[in-house]
Amino acid sequence: MDDVPDEPEDYTPAPPPPEYPTTISPTSPTAFPPLPTRSAPDDAVEDTSEDEETSSGASTPQTPMTEAERAHALELHTTTTAASAANLEASRFFRSNDPAQAEALYTKAILLDPSAPTLYTNRAMARLKLGLLEGVLEDCASSLAIKEKANMKARHYGAQALVGLGRGREGLKEAMEAYKIAVKEEAGSLGSVVSVVLKCKKAAWEEREQERVAGTEGVRGKVVEGLRRDLERRIEGVEEGEKEGVRKEGEEMIEEVERVWVEAGKAEKKRIVPDWAVDDITFSFMVDPVITKTGKSYERASILEHLRCSPTDPLTREPLRIDELRPNLALREACEEFLKENGWAVDY
C-alpha cells in the first residue's frame, strides 16, 4: 500500500491472457496462436496408478481455454490498461497542482474499471483539493464497499471531508480508524494521519462546546420564562392600584437577571486545548509528559505501552528504548497550570 496520504496510488491493469499476443496483426502468422490450456476436471483425468513408471514424467492433462474465456480475459486486459493510463495521466495533473483535470481523468478511469478501490481514493484526494466534500464521501464509501479492511486512505480522506461539512464527531471516528491502520502497518505517513486526528478532535470538541453554549442559552430562556410566569401570578394577587408597581419591579428584576447572564457569558473564555498539551498517541490531555531523545513529548503511560510492543518512536519510527525517556518537567508544569484554570480540559 502507498502510505502517503496526499500522493496518488498506482493502479495495475489485469494481465493479458496466457500465450496471447498483446498486439495482433492480421498478417501475422501468430495472429491466432494455439489456445491456452486449463487443468482438466478431476473426473476427466484417467487413473494411471497401475502404470506409475510410464506416467510419472507426463504432464497433467489440460483442457483448452474457451474462446469466450480468452475474449473476456483480453477485454479485461484492454479495459484495465486504458484505466491504468487514465489514472497515470490524472496523477501527473494532480502532482502539477491541477486537481480539476485530475478529477476528470480519475472519473474516466473509474468508468473503465469501477471495481478498483484505488481509483476511488485517488479521485477522493482530487475532490478534497477542489472542496467537493460530498463527492469525497461518495468516493470513500465506494472504495470501502470494495475494500473495507486496511483502507487507510478512504478513512483519512473521509475524515477530512466530514470535518469540512461540520460533522466533526463522525470525522473523528474515521480519522481514528485511519490512525489504527497506519500504526498497524507502521506507515511512514503516521505524522500526517495524526495531524488529521487532532483536527477532527478539535472539531468534535467545538461541536460539543456549541451544544453546551446552546444548552446554557436554553436554561436562561427557561429561567426568564419562569420569572415572567411568577410575575403574572403576583400581579393577579394584588389590588388594582398596586399592579403597575409590582409589574415594574418584576420587569426590572428580569432585566437584571438577563444582564448578569449576558455579562457572565462574555467573561467566559472560549474553551480551547492547546496542541502542546495533547498526547499524539491517545490524543488526550497530558498530565505526566516525558520527552524522547529527538525532543518529542508523549504522555508517559501511552509511550510506555507503545514501547512494550514496538521499540520505536511512534511518529519518526526511529529506535527508542524506555530508558531513553526523560521527564519533561517544563511541559508538565505548563499542563498543571493550564488545568488549574481550565479543569474542563481533563475531558478533552
Determine contact, residues 108/86, Cβ cutoff 8 Å. Answer: yes
**Count of beta carbons in the 10 Å neighbourhood of residue 144:** 19
pTM: 0.63
Domains of the chain: 275-343 (3.30.40.10)
CA angle 22, 12, 34 (to 5 degrees): 25
pLDDT at 109: 96
**284 and 318 Cβ atoms separated by less than 8 Å:** no
Confidence of residue 139 (pLDDT cuts 50, 70, 90): very high
What pLDDT is stored for residue 108 in this prediction?
Answer: 96
pLDDT at res. 188 = 66
Across residues 223-239, what is the average pLDDT? 82
Q: What is the DSSP string of 64-100?
A: EPPHHHHHHHHHHHHHHHHHHHHHHHHHHHHHTT-HH
89, 173, 162, 96: which is closest to 124 by C-alpha?
Answer: 162
Residue 163 confidence (pLDDT): 94
- For residue range 92-121, what is the model confidence (pLDDT) as tens digits? 999 999 999 999 999 999 999 999 999 999
Overall average pLDDT of the 134-163 stretch: 95
Query: pLDDT per residue over 253-306, tens digit each?
Result: 888 877 777 776 654 556 778 889 999 888 888 878 999 988 999 988 889 888
Q: Any idea what DSSP says for residue 285?
A: B
Where helices occur in 98-189 by DSSP H, the ranges are 99-112, 117-130, 133-146, 152-164, 168-184
pLDDT for the residue numbered 49? 46
**pLDDT at 347 (0 to 100):** 67
Condensed to tens digits (0 to 9), the pLDDT of residues 17-55 reads 776 444 444 443 433 344 444 444 444 444 444 444 444
pLDDT band at 231 (very low <50, low <70, confident <90, very high): confident
How far apart are alpha carbons 277 and 315 in whole angstroms? 17
Over residues 167-211, the pLDDT tens digits come to 999 999 999 999 889 878 876 677 788 888 888 888 888 888 787
Per-residue model confidence (pLDDT) at position 61: 53
Q: Rounded CA gap, 131 and 187, in Å?
A: 26
- With a pLDDT cut of 90, the percent of the chain lying above it is 35
Q: Report residue 347: phi and psi, to 5°.
A: -90, 5
Q: What confidence score (pLDDT) does residue 38 get? A: 42
Per-residue model confidence (pLDDT) at position 214: 73
Per-state percent for the chain, helix, strand, coil, to nearest 5:
65, 5, 30
Confidence (pLDDT) at 165: 95
Q: How far apart are CA 240 and CA 264, in angstroms?
A: 37
